[in-house]
Amino acid sequence: LTGEFIAIERLRRLLPVPAPGVLGIGDDAAAILLPAGWLVTTTDAVVAGVHADLDLTGLDDLGWKAIAVNVSDIAAMGARPLQAVITVVGPPDTDLDRLYQGIAEAARRYECPVVGGDLANGPGLVVSVAMTGTVPDGEPVRRTGARPGDGIYVTGSLGLSAAGLRMLRKGEKESSLAVAAYRRPTPEVAAGEAARLAGATAMIDISDGLAADLGHLADASGVGLALDEVPVGEGATLEEAVAGGEDYVLAFTAPSDPSAAFAERGLAAPVRIGTATAVPAERLLAGQPLPAAGGWEHQWR
Ligand SMILES: [Mg+2]
């Protein structure tokens, strides 16, 4: 079997090369420059049993998550969500109303109307969302722009979702922040916009784990990573913070302190966790090799 990212690269070569001016495969979202500005497009599916264990989380939570993971990819471009369409594939007894309760709550919270979709029967539940977004008065922030010397920042603490899943599996109390982070991740649109306006050179959302996702950003930019420390969420372990994934906070690089742009929007200052370096293969945490990317990767033949 081969990993998701090698499979994506193979499939990319089978597809027509996008026209100049189109940002295609290889970032959190694609983008095209229209006369009125940049339109950003992304799609992400949530699969019951793979992305969410329905014994531990409700169908409404799965619906929330399907919207939230797409909003997070839009936010990672420094964009705002515009609208979504949803395909639901599932068995006839799927509780669509409960699923759409969560979808509707997230759509309202992130001001992203659901404007269409498709319902089809199938053996397992899959909720696939396609979402557009816009970059008002600016350019999308790609993964490719980090330069040696840029500070590396995250917009929140890490590992909470992985810790929440661990607690749920052990049947521990369900009121914690960590469990909420697992069930209802809250992507950071305002922070993504603040980072863009603060001059972020590259940005990605943490979906597969900090080490894996920062690795994608570093690979795309051709820089190394020297991390000093990682903000670990309350109740999470360092390992969960580095490799757990599903945090849906943003990681970005910037040449100067971005705090003012965050303060102007009433947002907490992002946490500087390290520096981009000129040695592309470098992946360090406190001077030691960053634990191997780990993180989540789907497998393909
Ligand atoms: Mg992403």
**From the CA of 191, how far away is ligand 1's center (Å)?**
15
Residue 84's pLDDT is 95
**From the CA of 206, how far away is ligand 1's center (Å)?**
7
Structure tokens at 59: 């169908």
**From the CA of 260, how far away is ligand 1's center (Å)?**
25
**Across the chain, what does the average pLDDT equal?**
94
**From the CA of 174, how far away is ligand 1's center (Å)?**
28
Residue 281's pLDDT is 93
Helix pair angle (59-75, 96-109), 10° resolution: 30
For the chain, counts of helices (H) and of strands (E): 9, 15
Chain centroid offset of residue 89 CA: 23
Res. 3: pLDDT tops 90: no
What one-character-per-residue DSSP string does 157-208 give?
-BSHHHHHHHHHHTT--S-SHHHHHHHS----HHHHHHHHHTT-SEEEE-SS
What secondary structure letter does DSSP report for 61? H
pLDDT tens-digit map of 226-271 = 999 999 999 999 999 999 999 999 999 999 999 999 999 999 999 9
**From the CA of 272, how far away is ligand 1's center (Å)?**
20
Residue 296's pLDDT is 62
- pTM above 0.85? yes
**From the CA of 49, how far away is ligand 1's center (Å)?**
21
Which residues neighbour 103 within 8 Å (Cβ) at sequence distance 6 or greater?
Answer: 63, 64, 66, 67, 86, 114, 127
